[in-house]
């Protein structure tokens, strides 16, 4: 055996010996096969007393015209989001999640079939509540401060970030969301999730992090105005992004 190969092999063997118990321990907690249905994280301290309710829109339903039309907004908020709220209240009854706060459900929900209705509707409620907040009429036209600096250093420019976000949004097959998130190491990343999943779903999302910007690319979000033209909807969205809010969420996430 060549000396270098021997050293490398020797090193790998010793690393392997040291890491084995650790790897074994990790395996025993994350193995998909024996992942329990129900919450994997410890039960939360805070308990919810009241039923989930639809949060009011922070602006009038016509406020985002012409980029988001009034009728879409009325249906999207008043019907779709309301349905997620109603179905979530119904779905958590009699389950371990019955008195969990929304964020606690989202972080603990699993991919088990028995969690599916809660997963879809808790995700739907969280995602839409977030979505209304990160849009606003007549706000700052561009990101500023720390967020602008981070977008520039990560994507070379804000325009380049928009391009990557747009491409990710176009690439979602069927219904889902595209996100700009802050990872645990405080770096920015763009990701997509199917259906009503989101990057806060620790047991489910491919990449987890704190969303600071998100776009609903379900057809119900744009079909009335843009029909099948998702790219038109995405570019209209950038006219109503509440960059102040996104920037504030970014600064909180990097603390
Ligand atoms: Mn929607």
- Residue 76 clears pLDDT 90, i.e. is over it: yes
pLDDT higher at 23 or 134: 134
Going from the Cα of 188 to the center of ligand 1, the distance in angstroms, rounded, reads: 24
* Dihedral sign computed on CA atoms, order 206, 212, 215, 221: positive
**pTM (predicted TM-score):** 0.85
Residue 42 CA to residue 23 CA, distance in Å, equals 22
Say which residue the tokens 């092999």 belong to.
9
What pLDDT score was predicted for residue 34? 47
**Pick from 16-20, 74-78, 120-124: least confident:** 16-20
Q: How far is the CA of 209 from the centre of ligand 1 (A)?
A: 21
Distance, CA 168 to ligand 1 centroid (Å)? Answer: 17
pLDDT tens profile 22-34: 433 333 344 444 4
> CA–CA distance from 150 to each of 33, 158, 187 (Å)?
39, 9, 8
pLDDT at 151 over 90: yes
What's the pLDDT tens digit per position in 25-72?
A: 333 344 444 455 567 788 999 999 999 999 999 999 999 999 999 999
Output the CA angle 123-140-133, nearest 5 degrees: 20
* Residue 109, token pair as written in the block: 């929900």
Closest CA to 38 of 110, 107, 119, 92: 110
Q: How far is the CA of 185 from the centre of ligand 1 (A)?
A: 29
Task: State the pLDDT at residue 38.
Answer: 62
How much is the pLDDT for 15? 44
Q: Rounded to whole angstroms, how far apart are CA atoms 90 and 242?
A: 32
User: Looking at 34-43, 154-163, 186-195, 217-226, which range is the least confident one?
Assistant: 34-43
Expressed in angstroms and rounded, the spacing between residue 86 Cα and the centre of ligand 1 is 15
The structural domains of the chain, ordered by start, are 70-133 (1.10.287.990), 145-253 (3.55.40.20)
**Cα of 127 to ligand 1 centre, how many Å?**
8
Which tokens sit at 187? Answer: 């770096």
pLDDT at 121 over 80: yes
Cα of 219 from ligand 1 centre, angstroms? 8
Q: Rounded to the nearest 5°, which phi and psi values hold at 160? A: -65, -40
Q: Confidence band (pLDDT; 50, 70, 90) for 93?
A: very high
């Amino acid at each position: 055996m060549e000396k270098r190969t021997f050293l490398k092999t020797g090193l790998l063997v010793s690393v392997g010996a040291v890491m084995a118990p650790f790897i074994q321990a990790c395996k025993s907690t994350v193995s998909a096969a024996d992942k329990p249905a129900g919450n994997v994280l410890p039960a939360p301290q805070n308990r919810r007393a009241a039923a989930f309710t639809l949060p009011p829109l922070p602006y009038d339903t016509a406020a985002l015209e012409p980029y988001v039309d009034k009728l879409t907004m009325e249906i999207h908020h008043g019907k779709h989001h309301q349905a997620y709220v109603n179905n979530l209240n119904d779905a958590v009854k009699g389950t371990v999640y019955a008195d969990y706060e929304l964020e606690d459900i989202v972080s603990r929900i699993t991919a088990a079939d028995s969690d599916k209705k809660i997963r879809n509707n808790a995700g739907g409620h969280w995602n839409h509540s977030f979505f209304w907040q990160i849009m606003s009429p007549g706000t700052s036209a561009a990101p500023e401060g720390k967020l602008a600096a981070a977008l520039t250093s990560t994507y070379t420019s804000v325009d380049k970030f928009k391009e990557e976000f747009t491409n990710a949004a176009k690439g979602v097959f069927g219904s889902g969301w595209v996100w700009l998130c802050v990872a645990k190491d405080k770096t920015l990343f763009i990701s997509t999730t199917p259906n009503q999943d989101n990057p806060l779903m620790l047991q489910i999302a491919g990449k987890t992090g704190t969303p600071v910007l998100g776009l609903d690319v379900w057809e119900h979000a744009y079909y009335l105005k843009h029909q099948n033209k998702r790219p038109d909807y995405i570019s209209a969205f950038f006219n109503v992004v509440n960059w102040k809010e996104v920037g504030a969420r970014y600064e909180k996430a990097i603390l």
